[in-house]
Amino acid sequence: HTLANLLVGGRNLLHCISAASVKGCSAGGQQHTKCARMLLDGEANTEIPDTEERLPLHLAVMSMNHSLVNLLLEKCSDLMHVCRKDKQKWTPLMYAAKLNCSRAASFLLSAMRRTFMTSEAAEVYDEDKVNAVIIARQNYNEEVPKVVVDYGLNLQHRSKYFRKTLVELSNSGNPKLLQICEIASSGEFEKLAELLSEDGTRCFVNEHCLGLRDRTPLLCAAAAASSDYYGYGTDDHVKCARILLDNGADVNQLDADRNSALHLAVKSNNRSLISILLAVDGILKECKNIDGQTPLELETQLNDSDCKSLPRPLRLQQKHPDGLDEHSSSPQEPKKTGKKCSIL
C-alpha cells in the first residue's frame, strides 16, 4: 500500500496495470482487472496522472480493457475524469472513439449520465477542435456515435464552439471528405477528378474538415498539406485546385487560422496557383488571417525574412503612387506610343 502511488519512470502500479505495460499500452485482460481491484481495495489513487498526464482511466481505455474501465469508474470519486484531458488534449472518450471501443464508451457515458453531464463529455474538443463524435467518424467508427445517442445526447444539440449541431460536426469528419482533402493535399489530381465524378461527392467541395485544421479541399491543395501548416506547392497541386474550382469550390473559405487559399498558396510558394487564384472573380485579396496579415503582407514578411524564395505576383500588382516600380528607385520608362511623352 505504501508503494501503490509511488511514481517510478513516470508511472505508478495502477498506471502500469491499466496500460498492461510499463511503457506504452498493450492489450489488457481480466488478470489486470483483478490486480487493479487489489490495489483499489487498498490505497491506490485513481486521480494521479502519469507523465503524459493520463489517468488510469485513459490507459484502461487505450488498453481496451472494458472491465477495468468499469471498475475504475466505480471507484472514481470524481466522474468528471471522463472529461479529463491528457497531454495530447484527449479524453478517455476520445480514445474510445479512436479505438472503436463502444463498450468503453458506453461505460464512460453511463457514468456521465449519472451526473447529467453526457453532453459535456461529447462537447470536449482537442486543439484541432475535434470531439469524440468526429474522431469516431474519421476512423470509420459508426458505433460510438450510436452509443452517444443511446445515452441521451441529441445529435441535434448545437455545439457551443461551432454553432453547428453534432450531426453536422460529425459530417465534418466524414471519411469521404477526409479522403478528398488528403488527395488534394498530396496533389493526386487524377484521383481527385475521378472521386469528384462519383455521385454525391461534389457536395463536399466546400465542407470544412475539422480534423485537418478546418480546411476545405481547396485549402488543402493550396497549402500542399492537410494537418500540417503547409508544404511545398507543385503543378499537381495547381491541377487539383483547378479541378476543385471547376466543381464549385469557394475561393474565399478560411481555415482554423483564418488563412484563405491565397494565404496558403503564398506559404506553399506556389507561383502558378497564386496567379490562378488572383484571376478568380470575387476573390478577397485584403482578408486578414489570425495574425492580422493579408496575403501581400504575409508574402512580404516571408520574403524579407529570407525563409523562402517566394514569387512576387502579389507585389507586382502594387502600383507606386509616383509611377515607380516597387523594386526600383527611378521612374519607369513610359511606353512608346509614337507620341512624345515627358516624365514629370
Lowest mean pLDDT segment, chosen from 194-208, 241-255, 284-298, 310-324? 310-324
Q: List 11's β-bridge partners, or say none.
A: 8
Instruction: Please give the domain boundaries of the chain with CATH numbers for all domains.
Output: 177-317 (1.25.40.20)
DSSP 142-194: -HHHHHHHHTT--TTPBPTTTSSBHHHHHHHT-HHHHHHHHHHHHT-HHHHHH
Q: CA quadruple 37, 43, 46, 48: dihedral positive or negative?
A: negative
pLDDT digits (tens, 9 = 90+) for 39-53: 988 878 888 999 999
- Provide the pLDDT for residue 172: 55
The single residue listed with the C-alpha cell 511503457 is: 23
Mean pLDDT throughout 93-113? Answer: 83
Cell for 331? 521612374
Top-confidence residue, 322 or 141: 141
Band (pLDDT 50/70/90 cuts) for residue 6 is confident
Cell for 242? 483547378
Q: If we measure between CA atoms, which residue out of 98, 101, 93 comes closest to residue 153?
A: 93
pLDDT digits (tens, 9 = 90+) for 162-188: 445 555 555 555 678 888 998 999 999
Q: If we measure between CA atoms, which residue out of 261, 309, 311 comes closest to residue 289?
A: 261
Lowest mean pLDDT segment, chosen from 184-188, 237-241, 249-253, 331-335? 331-335
- Provide the pLDDT for residue 302: 78
